Amino acid sequence: MTVIRPSDEYLEQPYYRHLAEGTLHLNCCNDCGAAHHPPSPICPKCRSFNTGWKPASGRATLNSFAEARHAVHPMLGPKVPYVITLVDLEEGVRLVSGIPEGMRFDLKVGMPLECKVIRFDEAFALPYFLPVGEGGA
């Protein structure tokens, strides 16, 4: 699934630029090391403005999931059902993610996951998370 993308001004920002280059990076504090998401100009742990980007390990656990069966937009009609997930990364941040189109897994809250970045075009890629051993990172 997707037919939905952020507008170009967001794709030009570091989070999506790193993904388009093939890796999930997280906004991290250069002083205390804490990662945070969504990206922010300041570290919410130590309030330092000295933040940068580090590659994520890709290891996560499944916080929750939901299967959208009702299309909330006409262009999503051919895409349902699709699975949305909330994943808790090893680095201590939460991401919204999903299961890639055409894949099905028996999901369970708390199960270990690994990241698989899927590219849609030059400028746009998304971080999906698959059960460990199912073809992720």
Partner 1 sequence: MKTSIVGLGQTEFSKNSGRSELKLALEAILGALEDAGLEVNDIDGLVRYTWDNTSEAAIVNALGLPSLSYYGETEFGGVNCCGAVAQASAAIEAGLANCVVFYRALNARSGVRFGRGERVLAEEGDWLVSRQPEPPGDIYSAPFGLLVPGQHHALYAQSYMGHYGLDEERFTDMLGGVAVTQRGYANRNPRALLKDKSLSLDDYRAGRVITHPLRIYDYCLETDGAMAMVIVSQEKARELSGKAVDVLAAGQYIFPGSVPMYLYAEKTYSLAPEGAAQQLFGRAGLSASDIDVAMIYDATSMMVPIALEDFGFIGRGEAADFLSSGGNGPGGPLPVNTHGGLLSEGYFHGLNTIAEGVRQLRGDSHNQVEGAETAFVTLRGASSMVLGRA
Residues that bind partner 1 (CB under 8 A): 1-7, 10, 15, 37-38, 44, 63-70, 72-73, 75-76, 79, 81-82, 84-86, 93-98, 108-110, 126
Core vs surface per residue 47-79: b (16+ CB within 10 A) or e: eeeebebeebebbbebeebeeeeeeeeeebeee
**How near is the Cβ of 100 to partner 1 at its closest, in Å?**
10
**Pick 10 or 49: Cβ nearer partner 1:** 10
**How near is the Cβ of 3 to partner 1 at its closest, in Å?**
6
DSSP per position, 18-70 = HHHTT--EEEEETTT--EESS--SS-TTT--S-EEEEE---EEEEEEEEEE-S
**Pick 4 or 132: Cβ nearer partner 1:** 4
**How near is the Cβ of 18 to partner 1 at its closest, in Å?**
13
Count CA atoms within 13 Å of residue 68 on its CB side: 18
**How near is the Cβ of 135 to partner 1 at its closest, in Å?**
18
